[in-house]
Structure 1
């Protein structure tokens, strides 16, 4: 004969029985797409990766590879491949534009510091006209620093999103370490000294340089 518990169970509605069975289940978190759950120490961290190579690899590479802006730009306009091989990343993807490492030194003749995408226009040859536009952040366009490095290749990354985030992380680190410390007051007429990179774009009026190092001279 069924015991008392059995009779009680048989007398329960179907919905109550379902509730009892669910109460015995343990709900587990869904693992993340990166494969590690909510605490995934192995997930791709572009900011840390940039920090780890900035002083040891990025800056020495740019210092060794960069040429004076006027020299680099003159060659880039006539023979981009030759300029890229000498001043950039000859291992770039075939369909990517050339990116060049440069030193920009000259007089600031215009400054836009009202926008988060702040810039200075620099005259490098003393003719009173701007030759290059330098981004001084905090918001910066493009991935020129990443793209100028011959030891950074797309195939080294899991996907395009990681590669893009890595490119943006260079800009963020440059802003944190260098650009955020620059003066924003009375820039016109002062001198600028920049180590960075730029990509030739057909639509731009001035070459847009992303700095890895930058100095602003005193007011004249």
Structure 2
């Protein structure tokens, strides 16, 4: 009987690459069958869907949450500034809101006053009974600065946003709502010397002698 031929050492060395090649081909086929190709347009659309819509956020919340809360919590400007001047910390706890222990308090306020002459982006107000040396002005644009509207309600906090940029953008867009819904039809130049009524918010601390109120309601007497 003829003995069965056994693979030589060289044959044994050649077989593993053949097996490994087959496995590699199968793996590549499996990867290709489960890979989804995303074109540039689809990728851009996905990025847009995830991007924070600050304008939409402000539009949704300005009339439904921000304005009603500020109107409900507004304290007369003379009373409020008197309390703040006497004890800023106590007044902040009682009347204000802030997002964190190191943040400045923001307050909702209201009042009547005699409008002065426009100075840049501010309309100075003449108000009897204010603490000595304090000047109150309304922000009338075109630039509306600060975060008073965002912060004075106590409803909008940093932990509701992905990052600081979104948090800041929300504030900017709330201020933009004021420009279109409050200031667009208000003639600040013509209001000089006339009585005005206002409801709004301000942040206290950066300059205690200059209070800049961002209005959510502003009306001049006829």
Q: Same fold (TM over 0.5)?
A: yes
Is residue 138–residue 172 contact of structure 1 (8 Å, CA) maintained in 2?
no
Task: Provide closer, same or farther for how the CA distance between residues 203 and 59 of structure 1 changes in structure 2, counting only shifts above 3 A.
Answer: closer
For structure 2, list consecutive stretches of 5 or more residues without a partner in the other structure: 1-36
Is residue 135–residue 209 contact of structure 2 (8 Å, CA) maintained in 1?
no
- Number of residue pairs matched by the alignment: 183
Tell me the residue number matched to 1:180. Answer: 184
Is residue 122–residue 138 contact of structure 2 (8 Å, CA) maintained in 1?
yes
Q: CA deviation at 1:51?
A: 1.3
Tell me the residue number matched to 1:18. Answer: none
Q: Does 1:28 align with 2:39?
A: yes
Aligned equivalents of 1:154, 1:85: Cα separation in 2? 19
Tell me the residue number matched to 1:54. Answer: 62
**CA RMSD for the aligned pairs?**
2.4
Tell me the residue number matched to 1:106. Answer: 113
Q: CA deviation at 1:126?
A: 7.1
Q: Does 1:198 align with 2:202?
A: yes
Between structures 1 and 2, the one with greater helix share: 2
Tell me the residue number matched to 1:97. Answer: 104
Alignment equivalent of 2:219, drawn from 205, 215, 219: 215
Larger RCO, structure (CA 8 Å, separation 6 or more): 2
Larger Rg: 2
For structure 1, list consecutive stretches of 5 or more residues without a partner in the other structure: 1-25
Aligned equivalents of 1:206, 1:104: Cα separation in 2? 16
Aligned equivalents of 2:40, 2:213: Cα separation in 1? 45
Q: Secondary structure at the match of 1:193?
A: strand
Q: CA deviation at 1:130?
A: 7.3
Q: Does 1:147 align with 2:151?
A: yes
Aligned equivalents of 2:155, 2:87: Cα separation in 1? 23
The TM-score with structure 1 as length reference comes to: 0.74
Q: CA deviation at 1:187?
A: 2.5
